[in-house]
């Protein structure tokens, strides 16, 4: 189906408006002065980002339910629920930037496959799978990429949006490690080995990103150059994913890391990811 967004307002719209206030306070009258090619790249990136944030909202909704089933600490459950709202807001703001860049691009999606179901049957392990994939890998890799995009960005509006989103994503990336520390005594060596394989699969899912074409002059609108993107990604992979998981006895398979590095190494000739 075509990816489209809708709001109905009313009392529930007011609840979201309170959290949207920092974004609404930005200067949305800014005119994007960029070549047509850069604007097209921005439209694509921000449309895809809107869907990615939508999927992240679905993932944290699943995580919140899994944490409840696993009798996890209430503050972790509440955080996951709050993150659903934050990701929904990020989706809305990303769509707004796509419109400011010239309009969202058509995107066909399957909303029935937003979240990959966990393989485990035990509630604790189901929660661990979801958190490793979403928080320990996905969100942990997103934050440095947002910062790289913000550093290269020349648009005050886009830079401010990236900064506000990054502030939220930092907490999203921390939920997984906090859960693993709490659940550590209940995880067997076999459980940790399975979680390591799952983390490797989640890392491999990023490989296609390095096969995308690059667009010049798009960095000014929050689309980082390929060299900046690749360097930030590979650094984050080691520091923010592999090392924290290893500290908790979860070892990411070397072949998964090598596969992603090969994908990134093939991109040296491209100039900007778009």
Residue 165's Cβ-count burial label (10 Å; 0-12, 13-18, 19+) is buried
Of the candidates 171, 126, 169, 152, the one whose C-alpha atom is nearest the C-alpha of residue 227 is 152
CA atoms of 191 and 201, how far apart (whole Å): 15
What pTM did the predictor assign? 0.91
User: For residue range 120-147, what is the model confidence (pLDDT) as tens digits?
Assistant: 999 999 999 999 999 999 999 988 888 8
206-215, 230-239, 262-271: the lowest-pLDDT one: 262-271
Higher pLDDT, 36 or 127: 127
| Alpha carbon distances (Å) from 147 to 79, 89, 141, 161, 195 | 23, 19, 11, 11, 28
When pLDDT is cut at 50, 70 and 90, the band that residue 211 belongs to is low
When pLDDT is cut at 50, 70 and 90, the band that residue 157 belongs to is very high
User: For residue range 176-188, what is the model confidence (pLDDT) as tens digits?
Assistant: 999 999 999 999 9
C-alpha angle 158-164-165 in degrees, rounded to nearest 5: 90
Give the phi and the psi of residue 245 in degrees, each rounded to 5: -70, -40
Model confidence at 100: pLDDT above 50 = yes
In the numeric block, which tokens belong to residue 24? 């609404």
Residue 258's Cβ-count burial label (10 Å; 0-12, 13-18, 19+) is exposed
User: For residue range 158-168, what is the model confidence (pLDDT) as tens digits?
Assistant: 999 999 999 99
Residue 111's Cβ-count burial label (10 Å; 0-12, 13-18, 19+) is exposed
pLDDT at 237: 93
Of the candidates 126, 237, 254, the one whose C-alpha atom is nearest the C-alpha of residue 187 is 126
Domains for the chain: give ranges and CATH numbers.
33-107+122-265 (1.20.1260)
CA atoms of 191 and 198, how far apart (whole Å): 11
For residues 220 and 154, the answer to whether their CB atoms sit within 8 Å is yes
In the numeric block, which tokens belong to residue 187? 């995880």
- Percent of the chain residues topping a pLDDT of 90: 70
């Amino acid at each position: 189906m075509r990816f489209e967004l809708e709001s109905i307002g009313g009392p529930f719209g007011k609840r979201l408006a309170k959290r949207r206030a920092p974004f609404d306070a930005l200067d949305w009258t800014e005119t994007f002065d960029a070549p047509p090619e850069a604007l097209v790249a921005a439209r694509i990136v921000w449309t895809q980002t809107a869907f990615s944030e939508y999927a992240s909202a679905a993932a944290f909704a699943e995580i919140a339910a899994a944490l409840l089933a696993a009798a996890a600490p209430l503050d972790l459950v509440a955080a996951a629920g709050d993150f659903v709202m934050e990701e929904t807001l990020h989706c809305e703001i990303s769509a707004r930037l796509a419109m400011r860049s010239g309009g969202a691009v058509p995107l066909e999606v399957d909303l029935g496959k937003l979240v990959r179901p966990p393989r485990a049957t035990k509630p604790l392990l189901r929660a661990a799978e979801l958190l490793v994939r979403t928080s320990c890998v996905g969100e942990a890799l997103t934050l440095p990429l947002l910062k790289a995009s913000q550093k290269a960005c020349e648009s005050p509006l886009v830079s401010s949006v990236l900064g506000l989103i990054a502030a939220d994503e930092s907490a999203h990336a921390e939920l997984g490690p906090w859960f693993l520390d709490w659940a550590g005594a209940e995880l067997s060596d076999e459980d940790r080995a399975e979680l390591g394989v799952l983390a490797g699969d989640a890392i491999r899912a990023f490989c296609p990103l390095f096969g995308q074409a690059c667009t010049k002059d798009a960095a000014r609108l929050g689309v980082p150059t390929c060299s900046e993107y690749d360097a930030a990604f590979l650094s984050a992979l080691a520091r923010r994913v592999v090392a924290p998981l290893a500290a908790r006895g979860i070892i990411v398979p070397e072949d998964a890391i090598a596969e992603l590095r090969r994908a990134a190494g093939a991109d040296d000739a491209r100039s900007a990811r778009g």
